[in-house]
Amino acid sequence: MSTPANFENSLPVIDPDDAVMLLIDHQSGLFQTVNDMPMTALRRHAGALASMATLAEIPVITTASVPQGPNGPLIHEIHENAPHAKYVARRGEINAWHNPEFVKAVEETGRKTLIIAGTITSVCMAFPAISAIADGYKVFVVVDASGTYSKMAQEITLARVVQAGAVPMDTAAVASEIQRTWHRDDAGKWAEIYTRIFPEYQLLIESYQKARAVEHDGEQLDSARG
């Protein structure tokens, strides 16, 4: 029995060739209100999303809410890690999807899969996610790259966006789904991204490198004896 051509597109998985990364309101002032996760982890994860989008050649669109005010500017890692990112200035709209230029930037990519992370989770991530779903987009929300002021707020928001049709994911899962395989020339760069998502991964790399070095030394010793 043959699989319909559009079957994979209907699955809740990320197709890198159809995806757009929306990084919304990751601002230094707003980060000071985050209490559902360590601010340093949120910052690493947001930067990691930008890096993986660059590796996979996924368009990135960013925006900020009143960056000249107390919300502060976007953290610098996002545009440093994704120099191809397009920034869209808003005119006071709380929901980024209410800004016509933001929606236009998404539409111009010609893609229909959105990977969304934003601070504050219950507003900056949730509002555009729900609006985009209503407009026919497939939406993935990255929960641990979106921060909010309490764990309760995070849980309520997660329930709301799932009910609306969004697929919740964590940053490492997004990386793995986009990467797809270690059999690729840039595998080392993907490994480096994982060390930023969870620094403990660096220990895994170091133990692997040590084992490889011991194996190599053993092969050289056997060769010398032979």
Active site residue 100: no
Question: Tokens for 171?
Answer: 């940053």
Catalytic residue, candidates 34, 48, 64, 124: 124
Strand pairing partners for 62? 23, 87
What value, to the nearest 5°, has the Cα angle with vertex 37 and ends 208 and 182?
A: 30
Under a CB-based contact definition with an 8 Å cutoff, are residues 41 and 144 in contact? Answer: yes
Helix (H) or strand (E) holding 97: none
Task: In whole angstroms, give the CA distance from residue 206 to residue 56.
Answer: 25
Q: In 3-state terms, what secondary structure has residue 13?
A: coil
Total residues belonging to the chain: 226
Query: Which two three-digit tokens encode residue 36?
Result: 């559902």
Q: List, by residue number, the catalytic residues.
A: 124
